[in-house]
Structure 1
Amino acid sequence: MIEHHKGNIIINFLVALVLLCMKYDFAFASAKVTCIEKEREALLTFKKGLIDHGGVFSSWRIENVENMKNECCKWNGVFCSNTTGHVTALLLPGNWSRDYYLEGNKISSSLLDLHHLENLDLSGNEFGGTKIPKFIGSLKNLRHLNLRQSNFSGIIPLQIGNIINLQTLDISSNDLLSENLNWLSHLSLLSRFDLSYCNISDPNWLQNILKLPSLQELYLQYSYFPEFKSTSLINSSSKSLSILDLTSTELDSSTFDWLFNVSTSLTKIYLSNNRIKGQIPDAFAKLNFLEYLDLSRNMLEGEIPKSLKNLSHLQNLLLAYNNLSGTLPEMMKSFGLRQLSLRGNNFTGSVPESLGQLSKLEFLDVSFNYLKGIISESNFKKLGNLKVLDLSFNSLAFNISPDWIPDFDLDVINLARCETGPGFPTWIRTQRSFSWLDLSNAGISSKVPKWLWSNLSPGVQYLNLSHNQISGTIPDFSPEMMFVSIDVSYNKFSGPVPLFPPSNWIFQLSQNMFSGPISSICDVSYGALALLDLSSNRLTGEIPNCWEQMSSLHILNLGNNSFSGAIPHGLGSLLQLETLHLRDNNLSGKLPSTLQNCSSLRMIDIGGNRLTGKIPGWIVGANFPDMTHLSFRGNRFRGSIPSEICSLTQIQMLDLSRNNFSGKIPQCFDNFGSLVDKSTINSGMIGISFQLTDYNVSSLNIVKDYIDYALVQWKGQELEYRRTLTLLKLVDLSGNRLVGDIPGSFSSLKGLISLNLSRNSLTGNLNHDIGQMEMLECLDLSSNRLSGTIPIGLARLHYLAVLDLANNDLTGKIPSSTQLQSFNASAFAGNSELCGLPLTLCPGDGPDPSTSNQFGDSDEEKDDGDGILTLSFLKEFGISIIVGFIFGFWGVVGSLLVKESWRRTYFSFWDGIGNWLYVRTTVLWTKLWIS
């Protein structure tokens, strides 16, 4: 009984002890969230120096007086110790854009009251170009400091070297200068150092960095540093260096050899976008632990060295955009490669079947080479992990069984310019999760299979079936789809224009047989749409007036259809519009005044319609400072050409032909700076860049270039210019009712390629300074009332290939030159008082056409300023030849005939020469024969 009682006492004691411990534990746990008052005040002071645009500091407030000691450890970005309650981390990263939530901030010295702060992250914020405060060096317990992309400038403070516990330091992507890196010698624990986008002027920068004994990761991309000699490099103490990033540092072949002696433990090397020439060094084979090697965008030549087969750990090999050549090496089968990029080189031959043995391969890009041959199932035999396949822009042909089911499920399928037709490749039906499909220019001439549209997953972003002969219809796309770009242009698709997803940026359906109205596009708000091209189809009805829901549109092309009605006023809401193509429709009415709101316009092509009215005064440079191409051709515009049009200083193509314009041509054409300048200024392309992400191996940055084009009258033919459009500088005012003289300002247009003023009622003389238009290739002034003589300067236009001066009142003789006489007589026909080749001879010309053509009038000398020979000069020249022949030839020969002694001496001399040559030749031949 006593023992039982003792047992109860012991149990009760133990229970009490446990409860007591739990009590203290709860009390201790309660203490863990206690905020130190001094640190809370320091945080509130720190907050006063910052501007909160994103609500990040919304939690930085006192809920009630009772919780004053507890609240700061629960604030956004504040982290406290679970044991002491001290603030240990302050993590306030920005959003990496210029919409920073800390715009114009200052770092308060109140941070010095956070004595236990170990992690400070203020990256991605805006500090207005101020210097990194020196007092940061007094935060002695900091282990991680991140000030990346925060708009700091000036010299990196040496005081950072006082933070001896620092393990990671990221001050990249600022405007910083480092004159001396000696302060690094104190940071013996630093393992990760990012100095990218920094200007380093310390001549010993590399030695100072490589002395860091704990350094594992070094990032110097886009940094500038002085050149150095490898022989002056001291031995590295960074035996643990694993990652080295020297992307875009202008490194050349003579200054990168040192990296082979830096560390034998290197696992990742980034050397892309430098100036490394020659062959890939065999020394890479020394780096036994190398997993990632990026040498893309250099000037490497030759073959991939076989020594790389020793890199048994290599997983990523990127050699894109070099000048490497030869065949793809068979030894790649020994790699454990996951990523292989050989894009943009000069590789030839076939794709080896050994690539199909790389069972770990996830990313394969051999595009833009000179590979050829057949691709079969054996090329993909063991590629079950493949996610990205890019064989585009080679000469490869697929020979795949219709029943083939590959082991892989691709994210990216890029087979542009590969021969996969004539049928649609059926193996793509097995790919259920691709985000990118490019079968453009693939020789497909069949009907599109219905399963293609049903197989498109909601995550598909890029679809390109352009430049084939694919027929069939396209159903409406689901609004849930995440398309960025759809391009099915240059095919034989028919039916109505399908609804496309609201996320779409690029939608190209041109050069097909789509029909019907497009009013359905008003049913969805396309706020992200940047490019809409529905040109060259069979579309009808009026152009809808709902463009305000496409506010991001840069390019709109509805040309070459059968649209009718007026141009909608709603187009004026497209404030970012750069290109507007409405040509070759049945549009009528006047230009809507709202278009003047589209101040970013560079090209307007509304030719080939039935538009009326006058050219509005708002088409001036003040509204369209970037306008380069303006085409109103083939409409019913009337009135005079306003002088304000000369404010379009960047104009390269002005086509107002085939309208009803009257009055005089403005005298201010010399204001067209782009036509005065002989150089090519405008690129002619509008780039729309976007990024496709969510790939397992690598994201893809895409720039979609839209090439502007125009339909112009060129050398007597109506032609469409695309890639060469930037070279074409043209003024076409033909087919109107213009009167008066040709303005003298035209002579200033030294860069003009084509000038067409035909079929008007222009009068006066041709400008005598026309020879200054030295780049002119086409000149058509036919069917006017021009008078006077043809100026001599016209003969100096050496590039002139097309000339038409027919049906005017020109008089006098056509200037003589190889250029003008090469044109057909029709170029000068219809000028009754014009003479000279290639027309009939002028009065007094000689009977010999060739002589007349070359030497002019036979009766008197004529100096036309071009140095053309006259007939009198020919006579003197002929007499000189005859006299010279008589005295030269017969003076010598006659003397030999008359005087016998001279004759004997002459022939004896030549006999001696002959005997000497014979003896020397015989001796030389004998020596050669004996030897």
Structure 2
Amino acid sequence: MESEREALRSFKSGLVDEHGILSSWRSDECCEWDGAECSNTTGHVITLQLSYLPLRGNLINLRSLDLSYNQLNGSVPLSIGQLSELEDLDLSHNFLEGLVSESHFIKLDKLKTLDLSFNSFLHIAIDWSPPFQLSRVSLAGCNVGPYFPKWIRTQTNLSSLDLSDADITDEAPKWLWSMSTLEQVVIAGNQISGTIPNLSSTSILYMDLCFNQFSGPIPLFPANASNILLIGNMFSGSISSIFETRHDHLRVLVLSNNQLSGEVPNRWEKLPNLYSLNLAYNNFSGEIPSSFGNLLNVVALHMHGNNLSSELPYNLKLCQELRLIDVGGNKLTGEIPTWIGQMHNMQFLNLRGNKLHGSIPPEVCHLTNIQVLDLSINNLFSIIPDCFNNFTVLASKKTTNYLDPFLFAPTYPYSTIVNKHYGYSSFQWKGKESECEENLNLLKLIDFSSNRLIGNIPKSFSYMKGLKSLNLSRNSLTGYIIPDIGKLEMLDSLDLSHNQFSGQIPTSLAEIYSLGFLDLSNNNLSGKIPTGTQLQSFKASTYAGKDGLCGDPLPKCPEDILKPSPIWGET
């Protein structure tokens, strides 16, 4: 291809070939050039092998150098500092080590962007005098600390700063908040302390201070801010100051895992375009505000682990874009509202650990996109509605409809924190209390445990072939375990313990080869445990309780105990 030929010749023009080694590159047949290797099927040049040739680079006019996402090791060469025309330098996501200081940037007075992030053995000097004025710098995942780098203060044109996971244990300097051009500040995942001043007159649009030790009240932020992330600090007091100004551009407000208290203000019309709200794991009390109904664009609402009371507000049904509601771990009362079935985009509904009573309304089965439905640890008293064949996503073994990871541990444009626990949800997983981690977006779960549910397991449960966790334990369910339970072939966790199930364990259960956790204890089951590698691999406690069950891993069944062979000749 002509475009490939010209690109390679352009590359050659930047090399010093004193001995004419690449003279063959004058021909039009690239595959015959020295050092070039072509694909046998496409004819395109796929590899250049020039490492053995005595060539030198002539890069004095280089403006952009991107060597990110390789496996480079060793130290950053001082010769980079001679590239006087360089404007963009990206060495991120490598294995570089050693000290980086002003000696690496001697002639880089035109440098505008610097990205050395995720080189965990790279040490960055704290105090020096750079020759450049950067607009963007990312040192995430480097060894910057323990002190906040003083040289950042000299960057009067800086608009984006990322120092996340940089081992800083210092107090945030006051000059940081007065940098007039700063629009994005990401310093998450350190142990930075201090209080945040009034930021309403600054240029900060995006602020990620997650997982630090900031304290004091929630700061005022600019009216045009778009993302405020303050997870995992020690902020305290009320959040009423947020509503002193209308924030038409605010999309993400995440204040979870702090020490915030008081009632949640009923003034959410001041944040009309909010997309994701997380107030989980604080000390909020009182009612869930009815003005949440003004958040017509909200997709995720996290209120888990507070002291909220009263009922779910009726106005919440106006938020038709909601895909996640997590109000577990509060003191909510009343019944599960029937209007919940009108939330047709709902993927994750967690009402766990409240004081809800009444029945499971059949309208719940209108949530065809549901993937996580947790109604456990309440006071629900009813049969389970037999309509779970409506759950089309849980019926599918495909992964295309899985929960958007953004709803749990979102990756924002400027944040470099990865695989962090955002503390969004708490649930039962494999018999233990677990918390939401980055893989929750892969989960398909139903948990109705610890209620007062009665009746049988609905036959429609067998339609949920994509279900990964089912927990119906600690209820008053009766009847048989449905014979078709083996159709739940993706199950990883099944807990039916502490009920009143009777009859035999269905043989189809042995066909769920993915099963990693099983608890059938404390029921009225009887007969032989079906033979199969999977069911015999669990401990005897899995089947403990009444003495009706037998067979490996329990004692043998009477019919399997061999009688003594008769002595030859006896009658």
The answer on whether the counterparts of 1:309 and 1:335 sit within 8 Å (CA) in structure 2 is no
In the other structure, the counterpart of 1:467 is 189
Quote how far apart the aligned CAs of 1:260 are. Answer: 6.2
**One-letter amino acid of the structure 1 residue matched with residue 197 of structure 2:** P
Distance 2:73 2:50 in 1: 13
- Give 1:673's aligned residue: 392
Does residue 265 of structure 2 align to residue 544 of structure 1?
A: yes
- Read off the aligned partner of 1:358 and give its amino acid letter: L
Q: How far apart in 2 are the matches of 1:845 and 1:837?
A: 11
Tell me, what secondary structure is at the counterpart of 1:675?
A: helix
> What are the equivalent positions in structure 2 for 1:802-813 lying under 5 Å apart?
802-813=517-528
Q: Contact 2:60–2:85 at 8 Å: present in 1 too?
A: no
Shift of 1:826: 1.5
Q: What secondary structure is seen at the aligned counterpart in 2 of 1:572? A: helix
C-alpha displacement of 1:689: 10
Greater helix share, 1 or 2?
1
- Paired amino acid for 2:499: N
Matched, 1:732 2:447: yes
CA deviations on 1:628-674 (whole Å, 9 max, x unpaired) are 11100000111111111111111111100000111100101111111
1:657 aligned partner: 376
C-alpha distance 444-691 of structure 1, shift in aligned 2 (>3 A): closer
Aligned residue for 1:597?
A: 318
Q: Answer yes or no: is the 8 Å Cα contact 1:709–1:725 preserved in 2.
A: no
Q: Separation in 2 of the partners of 1:309 and 1:564?
A: 71
Query: Do the aligned partners of residues 303 and 345 (structure 1) sit closer, same or farther apart at CA in structure 2, a change above 3 Å counting?
Result: farther
* Correspondence for 1:50: none
CA distance in 1: counterparts of 2:413 and 2:522, whole angstroms: 58
Q: Say which is worse superposed, 484-493 or 428-437, in terms of deviation.
A: 428-437
SS in 2 for 1:256: helix
CA offset digits 1:186-206 (Å, max 9, x no partner):
xxxxxxxxxxxxxxxxxxxxx
Note the residue ranges of structure 2 that are not aligned, 5 or more in a row.
14-21, 29-43, 567-571
Which of 326, 329, 337 aligns to 1:608? It is 329
| Letter aligned with residue 487 of structure 2 | Q
1:637 partnered with 2:356: yes
Q: 2:404 — aligned with what? A: 684
Q: Following TM superposition, by how much is the alpha carbon of 1:386 offset from its aligned partner in structure 2, in angstroms? A: 1.6
How many angstroms apart in 2 are the aligned matches of 1:672 and 1:401?
A: 56
2:275 corresponds to which of 543, 554, 557? 554
Q: Which piece of structure 1 moves more, 602-611 or 390-399? A: 390-399
User: 1:591 aligns to what SS in structure 2?
Assistant: coil
| Alignment match, 2:164 | 440
Partner of 1:761: 476
Secondary structure (helix, strand or coil) at the match of 2:334 reads strand
TM-score of the two chains, using structure 1 as the length reference: 0.54
Q: Tell me what 1:452 maps to.
A: 176
**Quick one: distance in 1 between partners of 2:265 and 2:288?**
9
> 2:313 and 2:51 mapped to 1: Cα distance?
65
Give the letter aligned to residue 791 of structure 1. Answer: P
Q: For residue 394 of structure 1, report the CA deviation from its aligned partner.
A: 2.1
Match in the other structure for 2:569:
none
CA distance in 1 between partners of 2:200 and 2:311 (Å): 38
Quick one: which of 737, 740, 743 aligns to 2:458?
743
Is the 2:191–2:212 Cα contact (8 Å) retained in structure 1?
Answer: yes
Query: Which range is displaced more, 667-676 or 578-587?
Result: 667-676
How many residues are matched? Answer: 537
Change in Cα spacing, 1:306 to 1:426, as seen in structure 2 (3 Å) is: farther
Superposition pairs for residues 61-76 of structure 1, below 5 Å? none
Query: How many angstroms does 1:285 deviate by?
Result: 13
The C-alpha deviation readout for 1:198-225, integer Å capped at 9, x for no partner, is xxxxxxxxxxxxxxxxxxxxxxxxxxxx
Tell me the alpha carbon deviations over residues 856-880 of structure 1, each in whole angstroms, 9 at most, x when there is no partner.
xx36xxxxxxxxxxx99xx9xxxxx
Number of the residue aligned with 1:851: none
**Structure 2 letter corresponding to 1:824:** K
CA distance in 1, matches of 2:422, 2:131: 39
Q: Is the 8 A contact 2:99 2:125 kept in 1?
A: no
Of 355, 367, 376, the match for 2:92: 367
Matched residue, 1:820: 535
Cα separation, partners in 2 of 1:469 and 1:779, compared to 1, 3 Å:
same
Higher Rg of the two aligned structures: 1
On the 8 A contact 1:685/1:708 being kept in 2, the answer is no
Partner of 2:243: helix, strand, or coil?
helix
Of 565, 571, 595, 2:292 maps to 571
Given that 1:675 and 1:751 are in contact with CA atoms closer than 8 Å, whether structure 2 keeps it comes out as: yes
Q: Equivalent residues in 2 for 1:158-237 (5 A)?
A: none
Using the TM superposition, give the Cα deviation of residue 726 of structure 1 relative to its aligned residue in structure 2, in angstroms. 2.4
Provide, for residues 696-749 of structure 1, a one-character-per-residue CA deviation record: whole Å limited to 9, x for no partner.
xxxx9xxxx998953221112222233211221110000001000000111111
Q: TM-score, normalised by structure 2?
A: 0.87
**Aligned-partner Cα distance in 2 for 1:365–1:640:** 58
Give the 3-state SS of the residue equivalent to 1:614 in structure 2: coil
Q: CA deviation at 1:399?
A: 4.6
Is the Cα contact below 8 Å between 2:423 and 2:435 reproduced in 1?
no
Q: 2:199 aligns with which of 477, 486, 490?
A: 477
Matches within 5 A, 1:872-911: none
Q: Deviation at 1:790? A: 1.0
Q: Secondary structure at the match of 1:645?
A: helix
Counterpart Cα distance in 1 of 2:374 and 2:3: 56
Tell me the equivalent position of 1:164.
none
Instruction: Name the CA distance, whole Å, in 2 between partners of 1:624 and 1:529.
Output: 24
Could you tell me which residue of structure 1 aligns to residue 120 of structure 2?
Answer: 395
Report the Cα distance in structure 1 between the residues aligned to 2:335 and 2:264, rounded to whole angstroms.
Answer: 22
- The share of aligned pairs that are identical, in percent, is 48
Tell me the CA shift for residue 488 of structure 1. 0.3
Q: Distance in 1 between matches of 2:174 and 2:455?
A: 64
CA contact (8 A) 2:431 2:495 kept: no
Map of 2:36 onto structure 1: none
Displacement of 1:302: 6.3
Distance 1:708 1:510, change over 3 A: closer
Q: What does residue 225 of structure 2 align with?
A: 504
- Partner residue in 1 for 2:142: 418
Cα deviation for residue 567 of structure 1 reads 0.3
Q: Is the 8 A contact 1:686 1:707 kept in 2?
A: no
Query: Which residue is equivalent to 1:325?
Result: none
2:228 match: secondary structure: strand
Amino acid at match of 2:516: A
Correspondent of 1:585 among 296, 306, 321:
306
What letter is aligned with 1:507?
I
Matched, 1:713 2:428: yes
- When residues 691 and 822 of structure 1 are mapped into structure 2, their CA distance, relative to the original with a 3 A threshold, is closer
**Rounded Cα–Cα distance in structure 1 between residues aligned with 2:499 and 2:46:** 61
Report the alpha carbon displacement of residue 837 of structure 1 after superposing the two structures with TM: 2.8
Distance 2:23 2:489 in 1: 52
Question: Is the contact between residue 210 and residue 229 of structure 2 (CA under 8 Å) also seen in structure 1?
Answer: yes
Instruction: Give the SS at the match of 1:664.
Output: coil
Structure 2 distance, partners of 1:594, 1:401, is 52
Say which SS state the counterpart of residue 81 (structure 2) adopts. helix
CA displacement, residues 757-776 of structure 1 (integer Å, 9 cap, x when unaligned): 00101000011111111111
Matched, 1:752 2:473: no
The AA in structure 2 aligned to 1:585 is: N
Quick one: which amino acid aligns to residue 537 of structure 1? Answer: N
Which residues of 2 match residues 62-101 of structure 1 at below 5 A?
none
